[in-house]
Amino acid sequence: MKIYNTLTKTKEEFKPRDPAGKKVQMFVCGPTVYDHSHIGHARTYVFFDVVAKYLRYRGYKVTYLMNITDIEDRIIDRAQRDGKSVKELVRIFEKSFLEDTKALKIDSVNKYTRATGYIKQIVKQVETLLEKGHAYKIDGDGYYFDLSTFPDYGKLAHRTANQAEDAISRIDESVNKKNKGDFTLWKFSKPNEPSWKSSLGTGRPGWHIEDTAITDYHFGSQYDLHGGAVDLVFPHHEAEIAQQESASGKKPFVKYWLHPGFLTVKEQKMSKSLGNFITIKDALKNYSPETIRFMVLSNYYRSPLDYNDSVVNQSQAAVQRIAEFIQKLSLANGNNDFEISDYRRKFEEAMDDDFNTARVIALIFDLTRKVNSMLVDNSLNRNSAKKIRKFLQNINSVLGIIPAKQEKIPDSITKLIQKREELRQENNYEEADKIRAQIEDRGYQVDDTVYGSLVTKK
């Protein structure tokens, strides 16, 4: 099994730190809960759900933690704008996030860890960094990490500290910082902001220190796998490395780093100002969770993914095809076997190759094409159909793309769709269009996709 490691920029054989090679410690950066989660979050969290589930499928005992950032500047700003307390606001959006993950069948996380539940551990880590000379105090401001004490800064993103000011993510600004990229560890309290009393003074944690305090408490100073969206590589994950390796003196902090690529909407960065900000809740009003998961997983996770009507409709059609295929398997009553072992091997080979779910999707449709021909001439026997169904269930336990229930399309409409497909294959588009009109007159809509016709009620 090989995983692409952002740290080394190469695919590496996956070998957990556990001497027995069975236990895997996995941490993924969760949401900052100041708004509803969007489909970019869906891409990230669906992918890591699959990672955890596949590792367990392969026999690893995975402990999967995800943090929830429930104290941060944007949370405070939103709470003040909405006239709510910070606690009230974060509970609203934390609940929303957990509803979204449940709806998307993301159920592999062992524990969600709120940042504010680890203040004691955060303070302790800042104290350690101070004692070792890696942090300094700015009066009236807070404690900062001194990047000049950590020459390795930038090794994850292959950037230098001098480039810090053009970062995509949050950078802490202070005219009194020693170095451009120095970041906050502990912020002194301001009026009307949440704060905690501590040996550091009354204040609240910086953003980066939350995650390392959490993982150090649960996993120790080193662990196996850390994931998050690609925009967190710099400076967030870079800062995590600097903090933890400076505090513990041990390298590497994390053995494998995984980062899914960006998601755009109609080839534009998602933004409320552009009117293309799509929440998970909004997406699920129009599409099933299986459709959203298929869309995410039909694309190699490190490649960019564009969310548009064509892509989502294709995903919806694909999910329909798979569900229809599984239903057809129950009709098998022939005499011929179908050997499934080669497909099982190819499934594991694809997933072992850096979680290549796109190859698995292609494999599923290769299987359906070959078996469908046996179902058409009624040559597939029941035992083989049972094995195929079980194989697809095993894949689905990892990918989560097969719906438990499928909307029933009337037989009369199904027959018209089949007739239209035959006419299209014969290039008789005039007659095919007439049948399409009949289908639409009966209250159904037809969209043509690479996975066949998508049929939905108007």
Q: Tokens in use for 334?
A: 């022939």
The answer to whether the annotation marks 272 as part of a ligand binding site is: yes
8 Å CB contact between 415 and 453:
no
CA distance 344 to 388: 10
HEC assignment per residue over the chain: CEEEECCCCEEEECCCCCCCCCEEEEEECCCECCCCCEHHHHHHHHHHHHHHHHHHHCCCEEEEEEEEECCCHHHHHHHHHHCCCHHHHHHHHHHHHHHHHHHCCCCCCCEEEEHHHHHHHHHHHHHHHHHCCCEEEECCCEEEECHHHCCCCCCCCCCCHHHHHHCCCCCCCCCCCCCCCCCEEEEECCCCCCCECCCCCCEEECHHHHHHHHHHHHHCCCEEEEECCHHHHHHHHHHHHHHHHHHHCCCCCEEEEECCCCEEECCECCCHHHCCCCEHHHHHHHCCHHHHHHHHHCCCCCCCEEECHHHHHHHHHHHHHHHHHHHHHCCCCCCECCCCHHHHHHHHHHHHECCCHHHHHHHHHHHHHHHHHHHHCCCECHHHHHHHHHHHHHHHHHHCCCCCCCCCCCHHHHHHHHHHHHHHHCCCHHHHHHHHHHHHHCCEEEEEECCEEEEEEC
- CA 69 to CA 223: how far, in whole Å? 21
CA geometry: angle 377, 381, 384, nearest 5 deg: 120
d(CA 364, CA 316): 15
Label the pairing between strands 263-265 and 305-307: parallel
- What residues form the annotated binding site? 272
- What residues form the annotated binding site for ATP? 272
